[in-house]
C-alpha cells in the first residue's frame, strides 16, 4: 500500500497529490517536476509566516472592535467617533491619489462584453461541462421549462409536449426578436416563411442592417441567421426540412419554421474551488484539480444515463466546439463555443492536509490552489480555447483590506516565477465581500492595479461579515430586512463607483451577486435587470437556463453606456456603508422570534447535513416553505451568525435555539427523505433519529453556539473538521 505522505524537500506530500501533479498536471507544460516542487517548497516556507501575521492582524482588529462596542454599550453610535476609531486602529486606510488600472492582455469576454456570469462547483464534472457550454443557450427550452411562461389557459408543462405552451414560447421569442433585432416595418410575428440570403443580402429589412452578421446555408436551404445586439449574438435557427425535433416533437408549429432562438448566454463562468464545494483532504483536492485540468486541456468528459419515459439511454458530455458561420461578405466566422472560464481559489484562512510543511503544519489551501490551477491553465496556452490572450483568471475571495490584496499579488508573482510565466499573466478578481475590503476598496485595487480584472459585490458573505464584525454592537435586524438597510445600498453603489473611478469600464468586470432561487425564473426576469441597470457588466446566475434568461437583460441595457452615465453621480458615502444594521429598541414578539429562528435553523441544517454527510458543497436545498434555494457557505455564514448574535444579546436562549434546531432537523429529514437529488449518494442519515450521534447535527449547532468565536464568522473550520470526522 502506498505511503500516505512522501517526503520531498521540506514538504510531506500526499501520495495521490504527488502522482497527480507529476503524471497528469505537469507533462506538456514545460515545467519540470523538480522545479515545481522546489519552487512550491521555497514559496510556501517564505509566505506562510506572512499569511499567519495577516490572519493575526485580522483577529487583533476584531478584538479591538469588540472592546470598543462593549465600552459603548447602551450608547447611540457616534459615526464620526467610530470612523476615527477605525482609522486609529488601522482598519480604515487613508485613501491615496486617483489612479487608473493598467491591466493588459484581457480577453474581450471580460473587457468589452457585458453578460451573465455562471458559477459552478469544480467537483461536479457534469455541471462544470454544462457551465462551460452555457456560452450558448436555447431560449425556447429556457422559456418552455420554467415559470417565465405561466401555466394558465391550457399552457401547463406536463410530461408531454404541449402545443399551447409551445405557441406561447414562440410568441415570447418573436417579441424578443422585435425588441432586439427590429424590422424596418412590421414585426417578426408577421414572417410566415423562411427568409432568404442571396449574395450575402438578407431579404428582411432591419432597422439596423449592421445587426445581420452571419448565416448558415446548405444549397438553397437557410438553417441559421446570426444577429448581434450590444455585442451579444442571437442565432435564429430554421428547420427548412421540417424534421428537427429539438423543440417540438410533434412537428414544426412555427409558420416560418423557426425551431429555436439561440442566445449567447454565459459569457464567463467561474469554476469554483471555494464556497460551493466540500474539499477537506488530498482526495477531494485532486478530484477538483483533475476536473479543472480537463477543462483547460479540453478533454474533460462525463458519461451518464438519462431516462426519457421508460427508455434509459447513455450519454457523453464534453466541451462544445467553436461555432462557424458565413459572414454577409462571404468570409468564414468562428465564434467561441464556450464561456471564458475563471477559477475561484480558496482565500487566505484555510489550510489543507494534502501537504505538510517542515514544522508539520498544513499548507495554506489558497497557496496550493494558485500553483496548481495556474499550472493547469498553461495547457490552454497552446489551443487557446479558453483565454485567447494567454491569461489566467483567478478570483480571490475573502480578502480583508489592502494588505491581504497585496499579499495575493505577491503569491501570484511567486507562482509566475516558478512556472516561467510573464509577470501579470495571472489576473485577479477581487471579491468585495468583507467589510474591511469594502471600506478600503480603492486601496485594495491599487495594490493589484496591473492584474485586476474583476470586482463584485457578494451580498451574502458581506452580510455575514457585517454581523460578525459588529457582533458586540447590539442585536441585528431580521435577516430579511438586511437588503433594505442603509449600508447595503451604499455598499452596492460604492463597488460600482470605485470601479468606474479606477478605470474598469472597457478593461475589467464590475459584477453583482447570485440569483439564489433557480426555480423562480419569472421573478429573476422581472428583478435581475436591476444589475445591468446598476452599471454591472456581469452578474451571477445559478444555471445555464438562468444564464440564457438573464442574457435578455443585457440586450435591453447597454451597460457601457450606463457606466458613462453613472460616472457623474455622487459617490456612495462611507458613513452610510459604516451604518451598522442593529435593531433600534427591538420589541419583537415571541412569534416573530420563533419564526426567524426556525427559518435560520432550517437553512443551516438543510445545508450542513449535505455538506457533512454527502460532501455536497452547493445544491438546491428546500427552504422552510419547500422552495428550492441554492445554498453555499455564504448563506450558512449569515444564518449561523444571525442566531449567534441574537443569542449573545438575549433575544433568544440557548435552550430555545436547541429546541428549534431539533424541531427543524425533523423537517429537514422529511424533506431529504423525498429529495431525488440525494438518490445518487449513500442512504441518507437522519439527524433526528439520534441527535447526539449525528455529526451533521452537532456541527450545525457548533456553528451557532461557537459562532461568535469563529474567525470572521467563517463556517469552514467547523465544517472541515466535522467532514473529516465523517470520512474516517
* Active site residues per annotation: 344, 632
Within 10 Å of residue 385's Cβ, how many Cβ atoms?
Answer: 21
Query: Is residue 655 classed as helix, strand or coil in its secondary structure?
Result: helix
CA distances for 471 relative to 73, 467, 496, 577, angstroms: 12, 6, 27, 16
Dihedral sign for Cα atoms in the order 614, 616, 622, 623: positive
Gap between the Cα atoms of 240 and 228, Å rounded? 23
Question: How far is it, in rounded angstroms, from Cα 600 to Cα 587?
Answer: 19
3-class secondary structure, 597: helix
Q: Are 230 and 555 in contact (CB under 8 A)?
A: yes
**24: DSSP letter:** I
DSSP annotation of 22 = I
Place of cell 484581457: 106
Q: Which residues pair with 342 in a beta bridge?
A: 270
- The whole-angstrom separation of Cα 720 and Cα 175 is 49
| C-alpha–C-alpha distance, residues 90 and 550, integer Å | 41
Cα within 13 Å of Cα(583), Cβ side: 16
Instruction: Name the strand (E) or helix (H) holding 609.
Output: helix 590-614
- Pair 621, 603: CB distance under 8 Å: yes
Q: List the one residue out of 419, 403, 454 whose CA is nearest residue 90.
A: 403
- What single-letter DSSP state applies at residue 319? P
Inter-helix orientation angle 716-727/590-614, to 10°: 50
Return the closest-CA partner of residue 107 out of 298, 377, 434. Answer: 377
Report the C-alpha dihedral over residues 514, 516, 521, 524, rounded to 10 degrees.
Answer: -50
Backbone φ/ψ region at 153: left (φ over 0), alpha (ψ -120 to 50), beta: left
Amino acid at each position: 500500500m502506498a505511503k500516505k505522505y512522501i517526503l520531498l524537500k521540506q514538504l510531506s506530500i500526499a501520495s495521490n497529490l504527488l502522482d497527480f501533479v507529476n503524471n497528469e498536471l505537469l507533462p506538456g507544460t514545460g515545467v519540470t517536476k523538480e522545479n515545481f516542487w522546489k519552487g512550491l517548497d521555497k514559496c510556501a516556507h517564505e509566505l506562510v509566516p506572512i499569511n499567519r501575521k495577516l490572519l493575526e492582524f485580522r483577529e487583533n482588529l476584531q478584538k479591538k472592535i469588540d472592546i470598543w462596542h462593549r465600552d459603548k454599550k447602551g450608547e447611540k453610535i457616534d459615526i464620526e467617533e467610530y470612523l476615527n476609531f477605525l482609522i486609529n486602529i488601522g482598519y480604515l486606510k487613508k485613501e491615496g491619489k486617483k489612479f487608473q488600472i493598467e491591466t493588459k492582455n484581457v480577453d474581450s469576454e471580460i473587457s468589452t462584453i457585458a453578460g451573465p456570469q455562471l458559477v459552478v462547483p469544480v467537483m461536479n464534472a457534469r455541471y462544470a461541462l454544462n457551465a462551460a457550454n452555457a456560452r450558448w443557450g436555447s431560449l425556447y427550452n429556457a422559456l418552455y421549462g420554467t415559470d417565465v411562461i405561466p401555466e394558465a389557459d391550457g399552457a401547463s408543462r406536463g410530461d408531454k409536449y404541449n402545443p399551447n405552451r409551445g405557441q406561447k414560447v414562440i410568441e415570447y421569442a418573436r417579441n424578443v426578436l422585435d425588441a432586439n433585432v427590429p424590422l424596418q416595418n412590421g414585426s417578426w410575428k408577421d414572417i410566415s416563411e423562411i427568409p432568404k440570403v442571396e449574395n450575402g443580402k438578407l431579404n428582411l429589412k432591419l432597422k439596423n442592417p449592421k445587426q445581420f452578421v452571419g448565416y448558415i446555408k446548405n444549397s438553397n436551404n437557410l438553417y441559421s441567421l446570426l444577429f448581434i445586439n450590444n455585442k451579444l449574438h442571437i442565432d435564429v435557427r430554421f428547420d427548412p426540412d421540417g424534421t428537427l425535433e429539438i423543440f417540438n416533437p410533434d412537428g414544426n408549429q412555427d409558420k416560418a419554421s423557426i425551431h429555436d432562438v439561440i442566445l449567447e448566454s454565459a459569457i464567463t463562468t467561474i469554476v469554483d474551488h471555494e464556497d460551493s464545494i466540500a474539499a477537506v483532504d488530498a482526495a477531494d483536492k485532486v478530484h477538483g484539480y483533475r476536473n479543472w485540468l480537463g477543462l483547460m486541456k479540453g478533454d474533460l468528459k462525463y458519461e451518464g444515463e438519462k431516462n426519457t419515459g421508460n427508455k434509459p439511454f447513455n450519454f457523453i458530455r464534453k466541451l462544445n466546439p467553436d461555432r462557424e458561420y458565413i459572414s454577409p461578405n462571404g468570409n468564414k466566422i468562428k465564434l467561441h463555443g464556450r464561456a471564458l472560464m475563471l477559477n475561484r481559489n480558496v482565500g487566505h484562512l484555510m489550510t489543507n492536509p494534502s501537504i505538510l510543511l517542515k514544522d508539520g503544519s498544513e499548507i495554506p489551501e489558497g497557496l496550493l490552489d494558485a500553483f496548481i490551477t495556474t499550472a493547469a491553465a498553461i495547457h490552454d496556452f497552446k489551443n487557446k480555447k479558453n483565454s485567447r490572450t494567454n491569461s489566467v483568471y483567478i478570483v480571490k475571495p475573502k480578502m480583508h483590506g489592502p494588505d491581504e490584496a497585496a499579499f495575493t499579488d505577491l503569491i501570484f508573482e511567486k507562482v509566475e516565477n516558478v512556472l516561467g510565466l510573464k509577470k501579470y499573466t495571472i489576473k485577479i478578481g477581487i471579491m468585495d465581500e468583507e467589510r474591511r475590503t469594502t471600506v478600503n476598496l480603492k486601496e485594495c485595487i491599487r495594490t493589484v492595479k496591473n492584474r485586476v480584472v474583476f470586482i463584485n459585490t457578494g451580498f451574502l458573505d458581506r452580510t455575514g461579515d457585517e454581523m460578525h464584525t459588529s457582533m458586540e454592537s447590539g442585536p441585528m435586524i431580521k435577516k430579511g430586512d438586511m437588503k433594505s438597510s442603509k449600508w447595503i445600498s451604499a455598499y452596492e453603489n460604492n463597488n460600482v463607483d470605485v470601479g468606474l473611478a479606477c478605470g474598469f469600464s472597457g478593461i475589467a468586470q464590475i459584477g453583482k451577486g447570485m440569483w439564489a432561487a433557480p426555480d423562480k425564473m419569472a421573478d429573476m426576469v422581472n428583478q435581475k435587470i436591476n444589475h445591468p441597470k446598476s452599471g454591472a457588466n456581469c452578474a451571477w446566475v445559478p444555471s445555464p437556463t438562468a444564464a440564457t434568461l438573464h442574457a435578455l437583460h443585457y440586450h435591453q441595457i447597454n451597460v457601457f453606456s450606463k457606466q458613462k452615465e453613472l460616472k457623474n453621480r455622487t459617490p456612495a458615502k462611507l458613513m452610510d456603508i459604516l451604518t451598522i444594521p442593529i435593531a433600534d429598541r427591538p420589541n419583537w414578539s415571541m412569534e416573530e422570534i420563533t419564526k426567524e429562528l426556525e427559518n435560520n435553523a432550517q437553512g443551516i441544517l438543510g445545508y450542513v447535513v449535505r455538506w457533512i454527510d454527502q460532501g455536497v458543497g452547493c445544491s438546491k436545498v428546500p427552504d422552510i416553505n419547500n422552495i428550492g434555494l441554492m445554498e453555499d457557505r455564504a448563506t450558512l455564514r449569515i444564518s449561523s451568525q444571525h442566531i449567534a448574535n441574537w443569542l449573545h444579546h438575549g433575544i433568544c436562549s440557548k435552550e430555545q435555539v436547541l429546541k428549534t434546531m431539533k424541531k427543524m432537523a425533523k423537517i429537514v429529514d422529511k424533506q431529504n427523505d423525498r429529495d431525488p437529488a440525494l438518490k445518487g449518494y449513500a442512504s441518507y442519515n437522519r439527524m433526528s433519529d439520534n441527535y447526539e450521534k449525528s455529526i451533521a447535527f452537532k456541527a450545525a449547532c457548533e456553528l451557532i453556539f461557537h459562532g461568535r468565536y469563529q474567525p470572521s464568522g467563517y463556517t469552514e473550520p467547523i465544517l472541515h473538521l466535522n467532514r473529516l470526522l465523517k470520512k474516517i
